[in-house]
Structure 1
Protein backbone atom coordinates (compact mmCIF):
# COMPACT_ATOMS: atom_id res chain seq x y z
CA UNK A 1 0.00 0.00 0.00
CA UNK A 2 1.06 3.61 -0.34
CA UNK A 3 -0.70 6.38 1.57
CA UNK A 4 2.05 9.02 1.84
CA UNK A 5 5.15 9.73 -0.19
CA UNK A 6 7.87 12.28 -0.89
CA UNK A 7 8.94 13.84 -4.18
CA UNK A 8 11.92 16.19 -4.27
CA UNK A 9 12.90 16.09 -7.95
CA UNK A 10 12.61 19.44 -9.77
CA UNK A 11 10.16 19.58 -12.67
CA UNK A 12 12.89 20.00 -15.27
CA UNK A 13 14.76 16.99 -13.91
CA UNK A 14 11.61 14.85 -14.09
CA UNK A 15 10.93 16.02 -17.63
CA UNK A 16 14.43 14.98 -18.62
CA UNK A 17 14.39 11.63 -16.81
CA UNK A 18 11.10 10.61 -18.42
CA UNK A 19 11.59 12.36 -21.77
CA UNK A 20 8.27 14.11 -21.13
CA UNK A 21 6.99 17.57 -22.00
CA UNK A 22 6.13 19.41 -18.75
CA UNK A 23 2.75 21.09 -18.29
CA UNK A 24 2.49 24.65 -17.00
CA UNK A 25 0.36 23.81 -13.96
CA UNK A 26 2.58 21.30 -12.15
CA UNK A 27 2.28 21.40 -8.35
CA UNK A 28 4.94 23.28 -6.45
CA UNK A 29 7.72 21.14 -4.97
CA UNK A 30 9.71 19.74 -3.38
CA UNK A 31 7.28 17.86 -1.14
CA UNK A 32 8.24 15.54 1.72
CA UNK A 33 4.76 14.51 2.84
CA UNK A 34 2.38 14.13 -0.08
CA UNK A 35 -1.10 13.11 1.06
CA UNK A 36 -4.13 11.78 -0.82
CA UNK A 37 -6.38 14.27 -2.68
CA UNK A 38 -3.47 16.63 -3.43
CA UNK A 39 -2.17 17.39 -6.92
CA UNK A 40 0.88 15.35 -7.92
CA UNK A 41 3.16 15.16 -10.99
CA UNK A 42 2.34 12.21 -13.25
CA UNK A 43 3.81 10.98 -16.54
CA UNK A 44 1.32 9.80 -19.13
CA UNK A 45 1.74 8.78 -22.74
CA UNK A 46 -0.16 9.70 -25.86
CA UNK A 47 0.06 10.20 -29.59
CA UNK A 48 2.05 13.39 -29.05
CA UNK A 49 4.56 11.69 -26.79
CA UNK A 50 4.95 11.64 -23.03
CA UNK A 51 3.69 14.50 -20.91
CA UNK A 52 4.45 15.43 -17.30
CA UNK A 53 1.12 16.66 -15.95
CA UNK A 54 -0.70 17.39 -12.70
CA UNK A 55 -3.32 14.95 -11.39
CA UNK A 56 -5.32 14.58 -8.21
CA UNK A 57 -4.09 11.59 -6.18
CA UNK A 58 -7.39 9.85 -5.58
CA UNK A 59 -9.01 8.11 -8.55
CA UNK A 60 -12.56 9.22 -9.32
CA UNK A 61 -14.71 6.77 -11.32
CA UNK A 62 -16.93 8.38 -13.93
CA UNK A 63 -20.11 7.53 -11.99
CA UNK A 64 -19.13 9.55 -8.89
CA UNK A 65 -21.44 12.59 -8.73
CA UNK A 66 -18.99 14.39 -6.44
CA UNK A 67 -15.40 13.66 -5.36
CA UNK A 68 -16.76 12.32 -2.07
CA UNK A 69 -19.56 10.17 -3.55
CA UNK A 70 -17.68 6.96 -2.81
CA UNK A 71 -14.54 5.53 -1.21
CA UNK A 72 -11.25 7.39 -1.62
CA UNK A 73 -9.41 5.29 -4.22
CA UNK A 74 -5.72 6.06 -3.79
CA UNK A 75 -4.55 2.50 -4.52
CA UNK A 76 -5.69 -0.15 -7.00
CA UNK A 77 -4.96 -3.78 -6.15
CA UNK A 78 -2.96 -5.56 -8.86
CA UNK A 79 -4.83 -8.80 -8.26
CA UNK A 80 -8.24 -7.33 -9.13
CA UNK A 81 -7.46 -4.20 -11.19
CA UNK A 82 -8.46 -5.80 -14.50
CA UNK A 83 -11.88 -6.86 -13.12
CA UNK A 84 -12.97 -3.99 -10.90
CA UNK A 85 -15.44 -1.73 -12.75
CA UNK A 86 -13.74 1.37 -11.35
CA UNK A 87 -10.32 0.43 -12.71
CA UNK A 88 -10.56 -2.05 -15.58
CA UNK A 89 -10.78 0.44 -18.46
CA UNK A 90 -7.97 2.56 -17.05
CA UNK A 91 -5.85 -0.55 -16.56
CA UNK A 92 -6.19 -1.34 -20.28
CA UNK A 93 -5.67 2.11 -21.77
CA UNK A 94 -4.83 4.78 -19.18
CA UNK A 95 -1.70 3.73 -17.39
CA UNK A 96 0.78 6.26 -16.03
CA UNK A 97 4.03 6.67 -14.10
CA UNK A 98 3.99 8.36 -10.70
CA UNK A 99 7.48 9.45 -9.61
CA UNK A 100 8.54 9.53 -5.97
CA UNK A 101 11.71 10.04 -3.98
CA UNK A 102 10.43 7.59 -1.38
CA UNK A 103 7.33 6.60 0.55
CA UNK A 104 6.19 5.98 4.12
CA UNK A 105 4.58 3.09 5.92
CA UNK A 106 3.86 2.49 9.60
CA UNK A 107 4.17 -0.21 12.24
CA UNK A 108 2.51 -0.08 15.65
CA UNK A 109 3.82 -0.66 19.15
CA UNK A 110 1.92 -2.83 21.60
CA UNK A 111 0.43 0.38 22.98
CA UNK A 112 -0.82 1.42 19.52
CA UNK A 113 1.75 4.13 18.78
CA UNK A 114 2.33 4.50 15.03
CA UNK A 115 6.02 4.31 14.06
CA UNK A 116 6.85 5.61 10.57
CA UNK A 117 9.34 4.02 8.16
CA UNK A 118 10.76 5.59 5.02
CA UNK A 119 11.34 3.43 1.92
CA UNK A 120 13.60 4.51 -0.95
CA UNK A 121 15.95 3.31 -3.67
CA UNK A 122 19.42 2.77 -2.14
CA UNK A 123 21.09 4.29 -5.22
CA UNK A 124 19.27 7.58 -4.76
CA UNK A 125 17.35 7.11 -8.01
CA UNK A 126 13.63 7.96 -7.96
CA UNK A 127 11.06 5.28 -7.37
CA UNK A 128 8.47 5.10 -10.11
CA UNK A 129 5.05 3.79 -9.14
CA UNK A 130 2.79 2.06 -11.63
CA UNK A 131 -0.35 4.16 -11.83
CA UNK A 132 -3.67 4.46 -13.63
CA UNK A 133 -5.61 7.62 -14.38
CA UNK A 134 -9.12 8.80 -15.17
CA UNK A 135 -10.63 12.10 -16.27
CA UNK A 136 -13.64 13.01 -14.14
CA UNK A 137 -16.51 15.45 -14.39
CA UNK A 138 -17.52 17.97 -17.06
CA UNK A 139 -14.16 19.73 -16.75
CA UNK A 140 -12.30 16.43 -17.31
CA UNK A 141 -10.39 16.72 -14.06
CA UNK A 142 -7.49 14.22 -14.15
CA UNK A 143 -7.22 11.80 -11.22
CA UNK A 144 -4.91 8.86 -10.50
CA UNK A 145 -4.26 5.87 -8.27
CA UNK A 146 -1.13 3.88 -7.42
CA UNK A 147 -1.16 0.17 -8.21
CA UNK A 148 -0.34 -2.02 -5.19
CA UNK A 149 0.64 -5.68 -4.85
CA UNK A 150 1.46 -8.23 -2.16
CA UNK A 151 4.55 -7.14 -0.23
CA UNK A 152 7.99 -8.49 -1.07
CA UNK A 153 10.68 -9.35 1.49
CA UNK A 154 11.77 -5.76 2.19
CA UNK A 155 8.24 -4.53 2.81
CA UNK A 156 6.60 -7.56 4.41
CA UNK A 157 8.02 -6.94 7.89
CA UNK A 158 6.28 -3.55 7.94
CA UNK A 159 3.13 -3.99 5.81
CA UNK A 160 1.47 -6.72 3.74
CA UNK A 161 1.09 -4.50 0.65
CA UNK A 162 3.50 -2.34 -1.34
CA UNK A 163 3.27 0.02 -4.32
CA UNK A 164 4.26 -1.53 -7.65
CA UNK A 165 7.56 0.10 -8.62
CA UNK A 166 8.83 -0.03 -12.19
CA UNK A 167 12.41 -0.26 -13.47
CA UNK A 168 13.33 2.19 -16.26
CA UNK A 169 13.30 -0.67 -18.75
CA UNK A 170 9.61 -1.23 -17.95
CA UNK A 171 8.35 2.35 -18.24
CA UNK A 172 7.55 2.18 -21.95
CA UNK A 173 5.70 -1.11 -21.61
CA UNK A 174 3.59 0.17 -18.72
CA UNK A 175 2.69 3.27 -20.71
CA UNK A 176 1.60 1.10 -23.63
CA UNK A 177 4.48 2.18 -25.87
CA UNK A 178 6.01 -1.27 -26.27
CA UNK A 179 4.94 -4.71 -27.36
CA UNK A 180 3.86 -7.17 -24.69
CA UNK A 181 1.50 -7.38 -21.73
CA UNK A 182 1.87 -5.12 -18.72
CA UNK A 183 0.31 -7.53 -16.20
CA UNK A 184 3.62 -9.28 -15.36
CA UNK A 185 5.01 -5.93 -14.21
CA UNK A 186 2.55 -5.77 -11.30
CA UNK A 187 4.76 -7.54 -8.77
CA UNK A 188 6.82 -6.74 -5.70
CA UNK A 189 10.13 -4.97 -6.14
CA UNK A 190 13.34 -7.01 -6.14
CA UNK A 191 15.16 -6.86 -2.77
CA UNK A 192 17.84 -4.49 -4.06
CA UNK A 193 15.39 -1.80 -5.27
CA UNK A 194 13.97 -0.66 -1.94
CA UNK A 195 15.53 -0.18 1.52
CA UNK A 196 14.01 1.31 4.65
CA UNK A 197 14.82 3.14 7.86
CA UNK A 198 12.86 4.66 10.74
CA UNK A 199 11.99 8.35 10.73
CA UNK A 200 10.58 10.63 13.40
CA UNK A 201 6.88 10.61 14.22
CA UNK A 202 6.49 14.18 12.98
CA UNK A 203 5.41 12.74 9.62
CA UNK A 204 2.38 11.19 11.30
CA UNK A 205 0.73 14.57 10.88
CA UNK A 206 -0.59 15.22 7.38
CA UNK A 207 0.27 18.90 7.89
CA UNK A 208 3.99 18.28 8.46
CA UNK A 209 6.45 19.29 5.74
CA UNK A 210 10.20 19.72 5.32
CA UNK A 211 13.35 17.73 4.51
CA UNK A 212 13.80 16.67 8.14
CA UNK A 213 10.85 14.29 7.71
CA UNK A 214 13.05 11.85 5.80
CA UNK A 215 16.06 12.11 8.14
CA UNK A 216 16.95 8.72 9.66
CA UNK A 217 15.90 8.43 13.27
CA UNK A 218 19.04 8.29 15.39
CA UNK A 219 17.54 8.57 18.86
CA UNK A 220 14.90 5.89 19.38
CA UNK A 221 13.57 7.93 22.28
CA UNK A 222 11.24 9.45 19.66
CA UNK A 223 9.10 6.31 19.81
Structure 2
Protein backbone atom coordinates (compact mmCIF):
# COMPACT_ATOMS: atom_id res chain seq x y z
CA UNK A 1 0.00 0.00 0.00
CA UNK A 2 1.00 3.65 0.10
CA UNK A 3 0.07 5.72 3.14
CA UNK A 4 2.49 8.67 2.94
CA UNK A 5 4.67 10.24 0.28
CA UNK A 6 6.81 13.27 -0.56
CA UNK A 7 6.25 16.14 -3.00
CA UNK A 8 8.52 19.12 -2.52
CA UNK A 9 8.71 20.37 -6.12
CA UNK A 10 6.79 23.44 -7.23
CA UNK A 11 3.82 23.10 -9.53
CA UNK A 12 5.79 24.89 -12.26
CA UNK A 13 8.64 22.38 -12.03
CA UNK A 14 6.20 19.49 -12.15
CA UNK A 15 4.39 21.05 -15.11
CA UNK A 16 7.68 21.15 -17.01
CA UNK A 17 8.67 17.62 -16.03
CA UNK A 18 5.30 16.14 -17.01
CA UNK A 19 4.91 18.15 -20.25
CA UNK A 20 1.72 19.84 -19.07
CA UNK A 21 -0.28 22.12 -21.38
CA UNK A 22 -2.18 23.91 -18.64
CA UNK A 23 -1.62 24.60 -14.94
CA UNK A 24 -5.11 24.45 -13.46
CA UNK A 25 -4.63 25.15 -9.74
CA UNK A 26 -6.30 27.77 -7.55
CA UNK A 27 -3.71 27.69 -4.80
CA UNK A 28 -0.12 26.50 -5.02
CA UNK A 29 0.73 23.84 -2.47
CA UNK A 30 3.64 24.16 -0.09
CA UNK A 31 6.43 21.56 -0.28
CA UNK A 32 5.26 18.52 1.68
CA UNK A 33 7.53 15.79 3.06
CA UNK A 34 4.65 14.01 4.78
CA UNK A 35 1.73 13.85 2.34
CA UNK A 36 -1.09 11.98 4.09
CA UNK A 37 -4.62 10.89 3.10
CA UNK A 38 -7.19 13.71 2.82
CA UNK A 39 -4.49 16.26 1.97
CA UNK A 40 -4.54 18.18 -1.33
CA UNK A 41 -2.02 16.81 -3.85
CA UNK A 42 -1.01 17.55 -7.43
CA UNK A 43 -2.36 15.28 -10.13
CA UNK A 44 -1.61 15.17 -13.87
CA UNK A 45 -4.56 14.33 -16.10
CA UNK A 46 -5.81 14.78 -19.65
CA UNK A 47 -9.22 16.29 -20.38
CA UNK A 48 -11.13 17.71 -23.32
CA UNK A 49 -11.96 21.41 -23.20
CA UNK A 50 -15.65 21.93 -22.51
CA UNK A 51 -15.67 25.21 -24.44
CA UNK A 52 -13.87 23.68 -27.44
CA UNK A 53 -14.73 19.96 -27.55
CA UNK A 54 -13.12 19.54 -30.99
CA UNK A 55 -9.84 21.23 -30.03
CA UNK A 56 -8.28 18.05 -28.66
CA UNK A 57 -7.53 16.99 -25.12
CA UNK A 58 -5.15 18.93 -22.90
CA UNK A 59 -2.71 17.55 -20.36
CA UNK A 60 -3.25 19.47 -17.15
CA UNK A 61 -1.96 19.58 -13.61
CA UNK A 62 -4.48 20.35 -10.91
CA UNK A 63 -5.13 19.89 -7.20
CA UNK A 64 -6.90 16.73 -6.06
CA UNK A 65 -7.76 15.48 -2.60
CA UNK A 66 -6.09 12.17 -1.75
CA UNK A 67 -8.92 9.73 -1.02
CA UNK A 68 -11.30 8.99 -3.87
CA UNK A 69 -14.97 9.97 -3.53
CA UNK A 70 -17.06 8.14 -6.18
CA UNK A 71 -19.54 10.31 -8.03
CA UNK A 72 -22.44 8.27 -6.61
CA UNK A 73 -21.35 8.66 -2.97
CA UNK A 74 -23.81 10.24 -0.53
CA UNK A 75 -21.03 11.47 1.74
CA UNK A 76 -17.48 12.57 0.84
CA UNK A 77 -16.08 10.94 3.99
CA UNK A 78 -15.96 7.64 2.07
CA UNK A 79 -12.77 9.02 0.54
CA UNK A 80 -10.97 8.55 3.87
CA UNK A 81 -11.08 4.79 3.22
CA UNK A 82 -10.33 4.85 -0.53
CA UNK A 83 -6.70 5.97 -0.62
CA UNK A 84 -5.31 2.88 -2.40
CA UNK A 85 -6.82 0.51 -4.97
CA UNK A 86 -5.37 -2.81 -6.10
CA UNK A 87 -4.55 -2.59 -9.80
CA UNK A 88 -5.51 -6.25 -10.22
CA UNK A 89 -9.17 -5.55 -9.36
CA UNK A 90 -9.75 -1.78 -9.70
CA UNK A 91 -11.34 -2.07 -13.16
CA UNK A 92 -14.10 -4.27 -11.70
CA UNK A 93 -14.72 -2.68 -8.28
CA UNK A 94 -17.83 -0.43 -8.10
CA UNK A 95 -15.87 2.35 -6.38
CA UNK A 96 -13.22 2.52 -9.09
CA UNK A 97 -14.39 1.00 -12.38
CA UNK A 98 -15.88 4.18 -13.89
CA UNK A 99 -12.77 6.16 -13.04
CA UNK A 100 -10.52 3.38 -14.37
CA UNK A 101 -12.34 3.51 -17.70
CA UNK A 102 -12.18 7.30 -18.24
CA UNK A 103 -10.50 9.23 -15.44
CA UNK A 104 -6.93 8.11 -14.97
CA UNK A 105 -4.15 10.32 -13.66
CA UNK A 106 -0.54 10.47 -12.57
CA UNK A 107 0.39 11.48 -9.05
CA UNK A 108 3.95 12.89 -8.92
CA UNK A 109 6.13 11.97 -5.94
CA UNK A 110 9.79 12.16 -5.03
CA UNK A 111 9.32 8.97 -3.07
CA UNK A 112 7.04 7.24 -0.60
CA UNK A 113 7.21 5.78 2.89
CA UNK A 114 6.58 2.22 3.99
CA UNK A 115 6.86 0.58 7.40
CA UNK A 116 8.47 -2.75 8.30
CA UNK A 117 7.72 -4.71 11.42
CA UNK A 118 5.00 -6.72 13.13
CA UNK A 119 4.36 -4.70 16.30
CA UNK A 120 1.98 -1.77 15.98
CA UNK A 121 3.64 1.46 17.04
CA UNK A 122 7.12 -0.02 16.71
CA UNK A 123 7.35 -0.43 12.96
CA UNK A 124 10.38 1.08 11.25
CA UNK A 125 9.65 3.60 8.47
CA UNK A 126 11.66 3.54 5.23
CA UNK A 127 11.86 6.13 2.48
CA UNK A 128 11.67 4.53 -0.99
CA UNK A 129 12.66 6.64 -3.97
CA UNK A 130 14.30 6.62 -7.41
CA UNK A 131 18.02 7.51 -7.56
CA UNK A 132 16.97 10.63 -9.46
CA UNK A 133 13.87 12.17 -10.98
CA UNK A 134 10.22 11.98 -9.98
CA UNK A 135 7.94 8.97 -9.66
CA UNK A 136 4.73 8.94 -11.69
CA UNK A 137 2.33 6.93 -9.55
CA UNK A 138 -0.69 5.54 -11.38
CA UNK A 139 -3.92 6.98 -10.05
CA UNK A 140 -7.61 7.42 -10.74
CA UNK A 141 -9.64 10.57 -10.12
CA UNK A 142 -13.29 11.38 -9.65
CA UNK A 143 -15.46 14.52 -9.51
CA UNK A 144 -18.06 14.47 -6.74
CA UNK A 145 -20.98 16.91 -6.80
CA UNK A 146 -22.19 18.37 -3.52
CA UNK A 147 -25.94 18.52 -4.13
CA UNK A 148 -26.42 21.00 -1.29
CA UNK A 149 -24.56 23.73 -3.20
CA UNK A 150 -25.67 25.69 -6.30
CA UNK A 151 -24.12 24.87 -9.68
CA UNK A 152 -22.20 28.13 -9.84
CA UNK A 153 -20.50 27.49 -6.48
CA UNK A 154 -16.85 26.58 -7.20
CA UNK A 155 -16.81 24.47 -4.02
CA UNK A 156 -19.71 22.33 -5.23
CA UNK A 157 -17.32 19.96 -6.98
CA UNK A 158 -14.74 17.87 -5.15
CA UNK A 159 -11.89 16.43 -7.24
CA UNK A 160 -10.31 13.45 -5.53
CA UNK A 161 -7.85 10.65 -6.33
CA UNK A 162 -6.74 7.16 -5.37
CA UNK A 163 -3.32 5.53 -5.84
CA UNK A 164 -3.17 2.18 -7.65
CA UNK A 165 -0.97 -0.42 -5.96
CA UNK A 166 0.68 -3.63 -7.09
CA UNK A 167 2.91 -6.38 -5.74
CA UNK A 168 6.19 -4.93 -4.57
CA UNK A 169 9.41 -5.77 -6.36
CA UNK A 170 11.77 -8.09 -4.51
CA UNK A 171 13.94 -5.31 -3.09
CA UNK A 172 10.97 -3.24 -1.89
CA UNK A 173 8.97 -6.33 -0.91
CA UNK A 174 11.34 -6.95 1.96
CA UNK A 175 9.79 -3.83 3.55
CA UNK A 176 6.14 -4.17 2.46
CA UNK A 177 4.38 -6.58 0.06
CA UNK A 178 2.57 -3.81 -1.85
CA UNK A 179 3.77 -0.61 -3.51
CA UNK A 180 2.38 2.13 -5.78
CA UNK A 181 2.03 1.21 -9.44
CA UNK A 182 4.44 3.36 -11.45
CA UNK A 183 3.91 4.50 -15.04
CA UNK A 184 6.98 4.99 -17.22
CA UNK A 185 7.23 8.11 -19.35
CA UNK A 186 6.68 6.21 -22.60
CA UNK A 187 3.22 5.15 -21.37
CA UNK A 188 2.03 8.47 -19.93
CA UNK A 189 0.02 9.53 -22.98
CA UNK A 190 -1.77 6.19 -23.28
CA UNK A 191 -2.54 5.98 -19.58
CA UNK A 192 -3.94 9.51 -19.45
CA UNK A 193 -5.91 9.32 -22.73
CA UNK A 194 -9.59 9.83 -21.72
CA UNK A 195 -10.76 8.36 -25.03
CA UNK A 196 -9.11 5.03 -24.33
CA UNK A 197 -11.58 2.87 -22.41
CA UNK A 198 -10.38 -0.70 -22.98
CA UNK A 199 -9.71 -1.65 -19.38
CA UNK A 200 -8.05 -4.96 -20.26
CA UNK A 201 -5.55 -3.21 -22.50
CA UNK A 202 -4.91 -0.51 -19.93
CA UNK A 203 -4.33 -3.07 -17.20
CA UNK A 204 -1.92 -5.08 -19.32
CA UNK A 205 -0.01 -1.91 -20.18
CA UNK A 206 0.92 -1.42 -16.53
CA UNK A 207 3.81 -3.32 -15.01
CA UNK A 208 5.54 -3.22 -11.60
CA UNK A 209 8.74 -1.21 -11.33
CA UNK A 210 11.84 -3.00 -12.58
CA UNK A 211 13.75 -4.53 -9.64
CA UNK A 212 16.68 -2.39 -8.63
CA UNK A 213 15.25 0.91 -9.89
CA UNK A 214 14.29 2.13 -6.41
CA UNK A 215 16.46 2.82 -3.38
CA UNK A 216 15.28 2.49 0.23
CA UNK A 217 16.72 3.47 3.58
CA UNK A 218 15.39 3.82 7.16
CA UNK A 219 14.21 7.21 8.40
CA UNK A 220 13.13 8.63 11.72
CA UNK A 221 9.82 7.61 13.30
CA UNK A 222 9.08 11.33 13.33
CA UNK A 223 7.27 10.70 10.04
CA UNK A 224 4.66 8.67 11.93
CA UNK A 225 2.94 11.87 13.06
CA UNK A 226 1.10 13.65 10.26
CA UNK A 227 1.74 16.99 11.94
CA UNK A 228 5.50 16.59 11.47
CA UNK A 229 6.92 17.93 8.24
CA UNK A 230 10.15 19.16 6.69
CA UNK A 231 13.10 17.77 4.72
CA UNK A 232 14.58 16.19 7.85
CA UNK A 233 11.94 13.46 7.55
CA UNK A 234 13.83 11.88 4.64
CA UNK A 235 17.25 12.01 6.34
CA UNK A 236 18.61 8.47 6.73
CA UNK A 237 19.04 7.03 10.21
CA UNK A 238 21.20 4.20 11.51
CA UNK A 239 19.40 1.19 12.93
TM-score by structure 1 length?
Answer: 0.91
1:170-208 CA-to-partner distances (Å, cap 9, x unmatched) read 111111279883212333210132110000111011111
Aligned residue number for residue 150 of structure 1 = 167
Q: Is the 8 A contact 1:61 1:134 kept in 2?
A: yes
Quickly say closer, same or farther: Cα 1:177–1:114, change in 2 above 3 A. Answer: same
Contact map agreement 1:42 1:98 (CA 8 A) in 2? yes
The 3-state SS of whatever aligns with 1:62 is coil
Q: Alignment partner for residue 204 of structure 2, among 178, 181, 184?
A: 184
Alignment partner, residue 32 of structure 2:
31
Q: Which range is displaced more, 175-184 or 56-65?
A: 175-184
Count of matched residue positions in the alignment of Structure 1 and Structure 2: 218
Inter-CA distance 135–70: structure 2 relative to 1 (3 Å threshold): closer
Query: Which residue among 109, 114, 125 is the counterpart of 2:133?
Result: 125
SS of 1:130 mapped into structure 2: strand
Q: 1:175 — aligned with what?
A: 192
Q: How many Å separate the matches in 1 of 2:202 and 2:10? A: 28
The question of whether the paired residues in 1 share the 8 Å contact of 2:25 and 2:61 is answered with no
Deviates more, 1:201-210 or 1:150-159: 150-159
1:36-81 superposed Cα distances (whole Å, 9 cap, x missing partner)? 0011000010224111000000001123222225761001111111
1:68-102 CA distance string (max 9 Å, x none): 25761001111111110111111011000100010
Q: Which residue of 2 aligns with 1:14?
A: 14
Q: Give runs of ≥4 in structure 1 deviating > 3 Å.
A: 109-112, 177-180
1:165 pairs with one of 167, 179, 182: 182
TM-score (norm 2): 0.85
Match of 2:124 among 101, 115, 123: 115
Q: Establish whether residue 53 from structure 1 lines up as the match of residue 54 from structure 2.
A: no
CA–CA distance in structure 2, aligned partners of residues 199 and 64 of structure 1: 37
User: Is contact 2:37-2:80 (8 Å) kept?
Assistant: no
Gaps of 5+ in 2: 49-56, 147-155
Structure 1 stretches of 5 or more lacking a match?
none
The aligned runs of 1:78-117 (5 Å cut-off) are: 78-108=87-117, 113-117=122-126
